[in-house]
Structure 1
Amino acid sequence: MLLAALCWNLANASEIKQLRVETGATGTRVELQLDRPGDYKVIELRNPDRLVVDFADSRLARNLSMPAGAGAVKAVRTGQPQPGIVRVVFDLASQVKAMPPRIETTAAGPRLVLEWPGDAAVALTTPVIAAPIVAAKPDPIAEIAKASAAVETDPGKVVGKAATVSELPGTVATGVPTRVATGKPEPMPTETPAAAAPIPRPVMQAGMRPLVISIDAGHGGQDPGAIGPNGNREKNVTLAIARELARQINATPGMKAHLTRDADVFIPLNRRAVLARGAKADIFVSIHADAAENRSATGSSVYVMSTRGASSQRARWLADKENAADLIGGVKLAATGDTLKSVLLDLTQSGQMKASSDAAAHVLGSLGSVGKTRRVEHANFAVLRTSDVPAMLVETGFISNHGEEALLSSPDYQRKLATAVLAGINEYFTRQPPPGTLYAARAHALQVSQAASTGTGANSGGSP
C-alpha cells in the first residue's frame, strides 16, 4: 500500500518542464514552465545574495538542463531539501530585489515568471563623450546595489506563494547592470589623483514629470483590420501588443503609458490623435499588423507622416488601406481643408516630422533584435496627421503570413515586440530628453560628471 501511494504521488506531482534565464532591455527574466498548477514558495536570502523557489509535490523533467547565468543571475542550481520538494536556487550578481512573481497562462501550462530590474537601458544608450578619464569609475553594479536601500534583509521572508490562487501582479523595469568604458587614464607621475565620483543616477522627484507614451492599438470594434489565414484578427493582435507595451512602460522609471483604446471598440482615426494630445503625450505609437497578397511577405516596418507623397508604392497603398478604416466604422471623412493644411505646415516647420523619423529609426533598429525588418517609410497616414509630437505607425509583422500570424498571436512574441519598441523609445528620449523629465536629469548628471572628470566645468543650469 505504501509503495502504491508513493507511485500515485509521483504520477500526480507537477513537473518543471523548462527553465530559462534571459536578459535584455527590461532587465533579467526567469521563466519556469510547469505542466500543471501547483504551490510554490519564494524566499530571498542574503550573504551571499540568492533567490530560492521551493515547489511542493514537484519534480524536474528528465531532460531538464540548467541554463547559464545572465544579467542579475550568476548561476542556477537545484536541490531537494526534503522529499517531494524541488528547490531551485538563483545565485545573484548583486543585492537587487526581485519584482513580485507572477503566473502566466500558456498553451504548454502555467509559467512562473521572476524578474529583476536593472538600469542599463540608459547606460547602454547614453552617448559617452570621448575624453580621457583620470581615474576609473566604481563598478556601476555596486552603485545600483547601493541604490536599492529599500531591499528587505530578512533571510526568511516569503515573497510569493500559492500560484494556483490567482495571477500575481508583475512589473518590469528597464535595463540590466552594465559597464561603461572609461578610457585610458592619464599618467600622473608626481601626484596620486583622487578617485572619480560615480555618475549619479537621479530618480523621479517632485517637480519632474513622466514621459507620456501614447499607444494606439490599430483598428477595433466593427473594424477587424487584416485577418490571417488561420482567422486571427489584426484588432486583437494590436490590442494585446499595446497592453503589453503599456505594462512595460508603466514599470519603467520616468515613463507613463496612455492607451487610446483598452477594449474592442472603434475609434475614428482623427480622434486617436486628439486623445493622445489630451493625455499630453510626448510620443504617439500606433500598433498594426501588416498584410499582403503575397503570403510569403514577412518582416516589421515603421512608417511616419509625409506631406510630400509616399516613399514607395507600398507605403502609399498601405496608407490608403489604413485611412479607409473610418469608412468601415461609418465615419464621414472630412475634406482636407485649410485647417489641416495649416496643421501640416506647422508640423513641417516645427521639425516634428524629423523627430518622428529619428524616433522611428531607433524603434526599427530595436525591432531588428526580434526578427526581419524592412525600413522606415513615409506616407500620408490619417492617424498621424494631426499629431504635434513625434508619431509613428509600427507594422509588427505580416498577419497574412502563416508563420508570422502564429508569432503575432503568441504572448511570448508579443512581449518581445513590446520590449523592442520600448528599447527604441528609450534610446530616442535618452538622446533627446525633454526638459523637466527624469531623462533630462540623467543626461545632465552625466554631463556634469564627465565635465568634472575632464576638469572642463559644466553648465549646471540645464541639461544637454
Structure 2
Amino acid sequence: MRFNVLSGRWLWLSLYLVSCLAYAGSSVSGVRVWSGPDNTRIVLDLSAAPEFSYFNLKKPDRLVLDLKNSQMKVELSKVDISGRLVKKVRASTPKEKDAYRLVIELNQPVTPVVFALKPTGNYGHRLVIDLPDKVGSAATEKKQQQISKTKTQQQLEGNRDIIIAIDAGHGGEDPGAIGRRKTYEKSVTLAIAKRVQRLIDKESGLKGVLIRQGDYFVNLNKRSQIARKSKADFLVSIHADGFTSSQPKGASVWVVSTRRAKSEVGRHLEDHEAESDLLGGVGELMSNTDNDAHLNFALIDMQMDYSMNTAYQVATQVLSQLGKVTTLHKKKPEHASLAVLKSPDIPSILVEAGFITNHKEENLLRSGNHQQKLAKAIVSGIKKYYQRKPLPGTLYAKTYGVKKHTVKKGESLSVLAARYKTSVAGLKKANKLSSNTLKIGQVLTIPNS
C-alpha cells in the first residue's frame, strides 16, 4: 500500500512538472508593432513553437488569434501602437480553457498573413502577424504613379529629374549590427538616408526617394521593386558594418559581383545579408536571385553591363568624397554578391558608413554632425558622376551636357572661356588645340564648368 502511495505521488509530481514545463514553454514574453506605409506587422516572442489559429470578425473589424496552451506575460496596454491600421491590442475569453485569445482591433478589413519563425540570431520562437494596409497601399501606388507620370512628362520636355532611390539597411525586427553602446545599425542607416534625401532634393535636377521611411522591415527583394516602381535611375543602399571583432574600421563602398566575395569582411557581409530576411521575418524563403532566369540573361546583356559599369564609377566617386570626411576601410570599390545590388536595370551601390562594432566609429556614427558629413559625401559623389555623364532628357543633361559653339567674328578663347564659365586651358584640351588661334565657323566643344 505504501509503495502504491509513493508511486502515485511521484507519478502525480512528474505529471505536474511536465505540465508546468509545457505551459511555461509557450508563454508570450514580448509584443511588438511595426507600422509601414502599406503593411503593419505584429510580432509575438514565445518561449516555444506556437500552436495557433485565427479568424476575422466584422462590425467592428477585428482579427482574433488563439494561442493554444499559452499565457501572456506582457501588459498589452503598454504596447506601443503606431500607424493608422491597428486601433488596439487586447485579451479576450478563449473557447478552450488552456488557450490565450488575442484580439487586434482594426480600422479597416484585412486579409492577414500569420506564420511562425524558428529561433534566429538573438531571437527565440516568434509568431508574425502581417496586416496589409489597403488604404496605405493605394496611397503608395498613387504616389509612385505620380512620380512615373511626372518623370515621363519631364522627359518629353527634356528636363526631368534624375531619381535616386535611398535604401536604409535593415529595419523593424532586423536591427542589423549592434554596437557596444547598443547602437542599432537600422537607426543609424535611416538617419543617414533621410539626410541624403534632403540634400538630394535641394539639388536642382535630382530627386530622392526613400525605400523605407521608418522603423519597419522591407525584405531584400522588395527593396529593388520599390526603387523600380519609383522609376529610380540609381540606388544607394546605406549600411554600417559589423564584424566579429572591434578592430576593423573605416567606410567602404560595395558593388555587385556574380561570385562569392573574396575578403573576410565581404563574406561576413554576404552572410549578414542572408540572415537579414530571417531576422526581419518572411513568410516564405526569398527567391534565389542567382537562379533567376531573367537575371542570368541580364548578366550577359548590355543593360547589366551598363548598370555594373555605372555603379563602379559612382562607387569610385563616392569613395573619393568619403575619404575627405572619414577613414576608409578600402580605397577602391569592393565586390560582393548582395541581393540589394542585383537589379539588372538600376545601377546600385552599397555604402558601409563605418564599423558600428568599432568603439570609436560607433560614437561617430551616433553623431548627427558626422552623419551629415557622410550624407554630403555620398551626395557629392553621385552628383559628380551625373554631372560628367548626365542622362539624356534630364535637366542635368541641359545643365552639364556637352555644348557646341560655332566661332563668330571677333570671338577668342578668352572671350568664350568667360562666357561659358570655363578656362582657356579647358577649351584647348576639350578641342585638342595646340594654339590660341580660332577660325570663323570653327565648331568648338564646350567642357563642363
Distance 1:337 1:256, change over 3 A: closer
In 2, Cα distance between equivalents of 1:273 and 1:315: 21
Letter of the 1:409 counterpart: R
1:399 corresponds, among 340, 353, 356, to 356
Q: Secondary structure, in 3 states, of the residue corresponding to 1:427?
A: helix
Q: Point out where structure 1 has 5 or more consecutive residues left out of the alignment.
A: 1-203
Kindly state the Cα deviation for residue 445 of structure 1 after the two structures are TM-superposed: 6.0
Instruction: Map 1:60-139; keep pairs closer than 5 Å.
Output: none
Query: Structure 2 CA distance, aligned partners of 1:383 and 1:312?
Result: 19
Match of 1:384 among 336, 341, 344: 341
Match of residue 247, structure 2, among 284, 290, 296: 296
2:385 pairs with 392, 405, 428, which one? 428
Structure 1's 348 and 379: CA in aligned 2 closer, same or farther, altered over 3 A? farther
**How far apart are residue 424 of structure 1 and its match?**
0.3
TM-score, normalisation: structure 1 = 0.52
Q: Spell out the pairing of 1:217-232 with structure 2 (5 A cutoff).
A: 217-232=168-183
Distance in 2 (CA, whole Å) between partners of 1:228 and 1:387 is 34
Question: Take 1:438 and 1:294, find their aligned partners in 2: how far apart are those partners?
Answer: 46
For the residue of structure 2 that corresponds to 1:378, the secondary structure is strand
SS at match of 1:230: coil
Q: CA deviation at 1:341?
A: 1.9
What is the match of residue 353 of structure 1?
308
1:210 is the counterpart of 2:161: yes
Query: What is the DSSP-based 3-state SS (H/G/I as helix, E as strand, rest coil) of the residue aligned with 2:311?
Result: helix
Q: Which has the larger displacement, 332-341 or 263-272? A: 332-341
Residue 354 of structure 1: how far off its partner (Å): 1.4
Which residue, out of 435, 440, 443, partners 1:457?
Answer: 443
Q: Write out aligned runs for 1:133-282 (5 A).
A: 207-282=158-233
Gaps of 5+ in 2: 1-154, 406-419, 421-426
Cα distance in 2, alignment partners of residues 347 and 222 from structure 1: 38
In structure 1, distance between residues paired with 2:344 and 2:306: 12
The residue that corresponds to 1:320 in the other structure is 271
Q: Residue 338 in 1 paired to residue 265 in 2?
A: no
**Number of residue pairs the alignment of both structures matches:** 259
Structure 2 CA distance for aligned equivalents of residues 252 and 223 of structure 1? 32
Provide the rounded CA distance (Å) in 1 between the counterparts of 2:156 and 2:203.
Answer: 15
Separation (CA, whole Å) in 2 of partners of 1:275 and 1:347: 23
**Change in 2 beyond 3 A, CA 1:369/1:247:** same
Contact 1:344/1:386 (<8 A) preserved: no
AA of the residue aligned to 1:278: K
Distance (whole Å) between structure 1 residues aligned to residue 305 and residue 246 of structure 2 = 40
**Partners of 2:241 and 2:392 in 1: CA distance:** 35
Find the aligned partners of 1:260 and 1:447 in 2 and give their Cα distance. Answer: 39
Higher relative CO (CA 8 A, sep ≥ 6), structure 1 or 2?
Answer: 1
Match in the other structure for 1:199: none
Deviations 1:311-333 (A, max 9, x none): 42321221221132111122212
Counterpart of 1:333 in structure 2: which amino acid? M
> 2:299·2:344 contact (CA, 8 Å) conserved in 1?
no
**Partner of residue 3, structure 1:** none
Change (3 A) 1:428 1:459: closer
Residues in 1 aligned to 2:378 and 2:403: alpha-carbon distance in whole angstroms: 25
Larger Rg: 2
In the TM superposition, what is the alpha-carbon distance from 1:348 to its structure 2 partner?
6.9
Q: Give 1:438 shift.
A: 2.0
**Are the counterparts in 2 of residues 347 and 388 from structure 1 also a CA contact under 8 Å?**
no
Residues 17-28 of structure 1: pairs in structure 2 closer than 5 A? none
Q: What residue identity is the alignment partner of 1:209? A: R
After superposition, the C-alpha distances for 1:89-111 in whole angstroms (9 at most, x for unaligned) are xxxxxxxxxxxxxxxxxxxxxxx
Deviations 1:132-183 (A, max 9, x none): xxxxxxxxxxxxxxxxxxxxxxxxxxxxxxxxxxxxxxxxxxxxxxxxxxxx
Task: Note if 1:412 corresponds to 2:398.
Answer: no
Q: In the alignment, does 2:418 pair up with 1:439?
A: no
CA–CA separation in structure 2 for the residues paired with 1:208 and 1:415 = 29
Closer/same/farther in 2, CA of residues 392 and 446 from structure 1, 3 Å limit: same
Amino acid of the structure 2 residue aligned with 1:216: D
1:446 to 1:333, Cα distance in 2 relative to 1, 3 A: same
TM-score (norm 2): 0.54
For 2:238, the equivalent position in structure 1 comes to 287
CA distance in 1, matches of 2:303, 2:264: 22
Q: CA deviation at 1:206?
A: 5.2
Which stretch has the larger CA shift, 447-456 or 425-434?
Answer: 447-456
1:220 aligned partner, one-letter code = G
- C-alpha separation between the residues in 2 aligned to 1:410 and 1:274? 32
For 1:212 and 1:225, locate their aligned partners in 2 and report how far apart those are by CA, in whole Å.
27
1:430 deviation in Å?
Answer: 1.1
